Amino acid sequence: MSATIIDSKIFGDMFSDAKMRQVWSDENRTAKYLDIERALAKVQGELGIIPKEAAVEIVKNCNLDQIDWVKLKTKTEQIGYPIIAVVNQINARCRDKLGEYCHWGATTQDITDTAAVLQIRDALALVEDDLQDISASLARLAREHRNTPIIGRSNLQQATPITFGYKMASILAGIERHRERLAQLKPRVLVGEFGGASGTLSSLETGAMETQAGLMKELGLGQPLISWHTVRDNFAEVGAFLGLVGGSLGKIAMDVKLLMQTEVGEVFEPFAPGRGSSSTMPQKRNPISCLYIHANISVVRQLAASLMDAMVADHERSTGPWEIEWVAMPEIFCLMSGALKQTRFILAGLEVDAAQMRRNIDMTHGLVMSEAVMMGLGPYIGREYAHDLVYDICRAALQQKRPLIDLLAEHPEIKQHVTREQLAVFCDPMNNLGQAGVMVDRVLASLR
- Cα 55 to chain centroid distance, Å, stands at 41
Q: Contact at 8 Å (CB) between 118 and 221? A: yes
Close Cβ partners of 26 (under 8 Å, ≥ 6 residues apart): 69
Q: Which of 140, 285, 317, 402 is catalytic?
A: 317
Nearest to 66 by CA among 25, 38, 106: 38
Helices 108-144 and 233-259, interaxial angle, to 10°? 30
Who contacts 417 (Cβ-Cβ below 8 Å, separation ≥6)? 377, 380, 381
Cβ-Cβ contacts under 8 Å for 50 (sequence gap 6 or more): 41, 44, 101, 104
Residue type, 184: Q
SS3 content of the chain, % helix, strand, coil (to 5): 65, 5, 30
Indicate if 25 belongs to the active site.
no
Q: Which residue in 202, 278, 298, 446 is the catalytic one?
A: 278
Calpha distance 338→129 (Å, rounded): 14
Is 278 in the active site? yes
Residue 339 to residue 122: CA distance in whole angstroms = 18
Active site residues: 278, 317
